[in-house]
Amino acid sequence: MQHRRNEDNLYWLVLLVMGALVAGITALALRAGQPGGTPLALWAGVASLVGLLAAVLVQWRLIRSLDDARRHAREAERAATQARAQLDAALDILPDALSFYDADDRMVLCNARYRELYPESAHLMVPGTRFEDIVRHAAQAGTMVEAQGHIDDWVRQRVAMHLREQSHLLQETAGDRWMRVIERRTPDGGIVGLRTDMTEYVRKERQLAHANEKLALLSTTDGLTGIGNRRRFDQRLAVEWLRSARQRAPLALLLVDIDHFKLYNDHYGHLGGDECLRRVALLLAASVRRADELVARYGGEEFVLLLPDCDAESAHYVAQACMEALRQAAVPHARSPSASRLTLSIGLVSMVPDPAQSPDTLVHAADAALYKAKSSGRDRCAGFS
């Protein structure tokens, strides 16, 4: 509207000047026809009027150019506003959070997802806000789990990481939420950041790890007695053999056998036999005290006790404790040819492992000692010699 009004004003100005020019030329012509008038004066007047018209036309042209420039500027501004609105709309539909900070580490823009991930600090996520102020507010609001208890140190470390050429981190936020953060420098010194919600992925990974732990435990646990199985014993024996060899420490093994178990099983039935195995396993497990000691079912009615840093005397004390515990339990064994109750035979060995030898060396020695205990009448412990 203003542009149209300016053109109308210029139009009437040009008409006015042209009318004045015609009137001036006419007046000069009449004057030149009077006595004393000269043609030179006529042409001088004409030249002045033409110069005036030219000046007016130049001014008109300048005004037209200025109006065109203003119109183009307004159109460019509208186009820029429309483009920014389209960009904001496009960024807001992204599933990931996007942010951009300038070379002074002040926010230029971010999308709606960025604000959703950090709702406590969303009001600060406007152009011009420093990154440090945003993360400090989030830490103080309790959003950043790692920052609790040492907010200032955490903020310094986070800002330093943010200012690197490139950074990657997995960030935990309140409510067991997890974000993968990727930040990178732009050629002009700014920092563009991308945040992906990894909560479901982390939780599934945690569940999978827990399931694997349970599976690993089940694979090394005897299903009947609930103590370690042969596989677990073999694994621990291999580890403790090498460790004891490095430290030149004694490693003891008790090989335990339930006396006349086949006769017990035949007399009391398989269910009675299973219950017998469970009771013996519990008694043996209660006889060890240290966390690094292992009680496992070796197979059938045989059990093992692996005792790291244990000499022969200490191992013999543990063996006697196992036998005494079963004696106190007084489990009846009506078919035993050697006693009226359930008894144990134990083969004992303690040695400083030789790394050049196999861990089975310890097992073979304990088995030889167990044979000696059985040959000597059972219900006793025998050492390897």
Q: Return d(Cα 336, Cα 339) in angstroms, integer.
A: 6
The DSSP string of 217-284 is HHHTB-TTTSSB-HHHHHHHHHHHHHHHHHHT--EEEEEEEETTHHHHHHHHHHHHHHHHHHHHHHHH
Specify whether the CB–CB gap between 138 and 144 falls below 8 A.
Answer: yes
User: Residues 183, 240, 293, 301: which is the catalytic one?
Assistant: 301
Q: Return d(Cα 49, Cα 38) in angstroms, integer.
A: 17
Q: Return d(Cα 212, Cα 235) in angstroms, integer.
A: 17
Q: Return d(Cα 319, Cα 346) in angstroms, integer.
A: 7
Say whether 213 is catalytic. no
How far does Cα 384 stand from its chain's mean position? 54
Query: Mapping DSSP to helix (H, G, I), strand (E, B) and coil, where does residue 379 land?
Result: coil
Strands 97-101 and 191-197: antiparallel
Query: Mapping DSSP to helix (H, G, I), strand (E, B) and coil, where does residue 108 land?
Result: strand
φ/ψ of 332, rounded to 5, equals: -65, 145
Task: Quote the tokens at residue 79.
Answer: 């186009």
Rg over CA atoms, the chain: 49
b/e map 310-336, b = 16+ CB within 10 Å:
bebeebbebbeebbebbeeeebebeeb
Specify whether the CB–CB gap between 363 and 255 falls below 8 A.
Answer: yes
Specify whether the CB–CB gap between 3 and 71 falls below 8 A.
Answer: yes
What residues act catalytically? 301
